[in-house]
Amino acid sequence: MVHRTAVENARLFAEVYLADAGAATIVEIGSQDVNGSIRPVFGDKVRYIGVDFANARGVDVVLEDPYRFPFGDDEIDAVVTSSCFEHSEFFWLTFLEAVRITRPGGLIYLNAPSNGPVHGYPVDCWRFYPDSGPALARWAVRNGQEVTLLESYTGEQEGGYLNDFVAVFLKGSDQLGAYPNRILDRIQAFTNGYVHGEPDRRRPQSLTEDQRNLLALQKFLEGRLKPI
């Protein structure tokens, strides 16, 4: 499922990190077009391959094993996934496969919900919090793959009820200088922003946006309801 902020975050990733990508090869994990797709934001100059476990619109390669991608090691310039990892029962295996097929100096873009209702396609297992990005990077390193988290953040709701968790990873660390710009330098509507090389999070927040809204509503009602 693709909502408006998912498309907007993918567009920002493409503009900030892939503006000079040229004829790059991009693989999208979970590319089935249910109610929209992030594919158009990457334009027609790239080679775009959508993989999923179902033969459906937006799917170029149907996976026999959802945790094994039919690409060689270090083959792909960028791997992207949006509104998919919450449906992967073992998303940590999916992430390792994404890292495996990405070339050194290539990128992995992850967007997954941090809240929201149950929406099984066919299952709905996980939500992602601010520490998910660093944890995934450490998981890759533990499994012999050097990965650097460039940035991550939780986006605020915009005309809906979903908060996107977004993370951008670099395969390796030698080419950090090739990506000097960050999405977080362009946007304001986020909390718990992590930027590689910065000791503190930007806009730290311990409460989710839903919790903050509920507290605001509670204070409003308490102010309106007078004791008898």
Q: What is the pLDDT of residue 228?
A: 55
pLDDT of residue 175: 93
Strand partners of residue 166: 111, 153
Please give the pLDDT value at position 3: 85
Alpha carbons 101 and 98: distance in angstroms, whole number: 6
Give me the residue label for tokens 């100059």.
45
> Do residues 128 and 153 make contact, with C-beta atoms less than 8 angstroms apart?
no
CB 46 within 8 A of CB 24: yes
Q: Which CATH class is domain 4-224?
A: alpha beta
The predicted pLDDT at position 160 comes to 78
Those residues of the chain that have pLDDT short of 70 are 1, 224-228
Cα end-to-end span (Å), the chain: 48
- How far apart, in whole angstroms, are the C-alpha atoms of residue 123 and residue 101? 25
Quick one: pLDDT at residue 2? 73
pLDDT value of residue 153: 98
